[in-house]
Structure 1
Amino acid sequence: MKHLPIAVDLDDVVVVFGHTLHAAAEKAGLNPPKFEDWYTYNLCTLLNINLEQFYSLIIRSEVLKIAPVVKGAKAALEQLKASGHQLVMITSRGYHPDAYAITMGWLKLHGIPCDELIVVPEGMTKPEAVALKYPNGFSYMIDDYQKNLADMKAAGMVQRTVLVDKPWNKALTEYRMGVNRFESLATFVESLKVEVCPPSQRRQEEEAALAI
């Protein structure tokens, strides 16, 4: 049975973005509050800088290049891939002029399974960026920003939304831990009790698809 693809956010789901940015902000002398106190997704407010300065900090500090992998994320994605799921990474990194090349390089460097990478252009929502390529939508969307999940759901392009627990989304009571909120990508995948498709079966399915 063919699955709908799974949409996966990168920053703070697969990539340790927030902590890496926090270190960069400290180095730049911005005196950021503790990471645990980042109560809003609008980091410009927390760092007391404008959007242009915020993007400049990320680019100048090479946050997208140096950030490590979230613990357990690689294994979780490998498990989903082995069970026959197509993995579509959708990231709002359109502010960075070299976002696609840097992100692809990072994924390859760390051996992260990815069937397609979509960098959302500035001014577009995630569903707007993927609607033409994935008109049937996704089985799951995993993100740390509730607006991305809400936009995809409102567009009728996802069957189930999953929020990764972070300081900036703690106040959202409609997301319940272990139901549609999880500590990490790894704990979500663990909750699915994914059955890994044997390699021989995967080959048969791939050959059958090519024969169509």
Structure 2
Amino acid sequence: MANGQIETDITMPSRFGRILAVITVAIAAYGLVVTVADSGLEGLLVSSWPFVFVSYLAFAVFWQPSVTVSDGGVTLRNVLRTIHLPWPSIQRIDTKFALTLFTDYGHFAAWAAPAPTRYSVGQTDKSDLTRLPESTYFAGTIRPGDNPASDSGQAALVVRMRWEALRDAGHLDSARLEKERPDIQWHLVTIAALVVLGAAAVFSAVH
């Protein structure tokens, strides 16, 4: 947000997830270096596959997922599929376990926006909980997952601000859904890569 204006598209990856991805890849790279030092380059082709698989798995699970808020709705890029939910379909935004959108199509959770742990909740700065969107509060309280310092709270804050702005402007009044089902795109390349690399890693481990 800049100068009080809401950006057209805002994409939010998991901040903690990306840290985990970097750490995992670094550990895998170290393991690969140690393996090469022990067995030499001639064994690299066989012994490298478990490290390649772990690195790609970290990329798919921790780095790639995100939540995108746009004029057309909310897009949840999860590990195996991307789901686009138009604004008129969204009925409620929850953060009990992760950012979860309850819609006319059902409810969908965002892999990139998990709720915080008990430890991080204990470290909450009360100033972070002021001036949150009206739909955040339930009976005068908020969930720990609504803390804007967390991945779920940050994503929920942006979604609620845009959703409330559209609602208050009347754009969601009597709005009709154009499709009976949400747009879902399966990540076929990711799925195929995980299967192939996983099989290669298992083959390498037993030989």
**TM-score normalised by the chain length of structure 2:** 0.26
**TM-score normalised by the chain length of structure 1:** 0.26
Q: Which has the higher helix share?
A: 2
Q: Which has the higher strand share?
A: 2
User: Which has more radius of gyration?
Assistant: 2
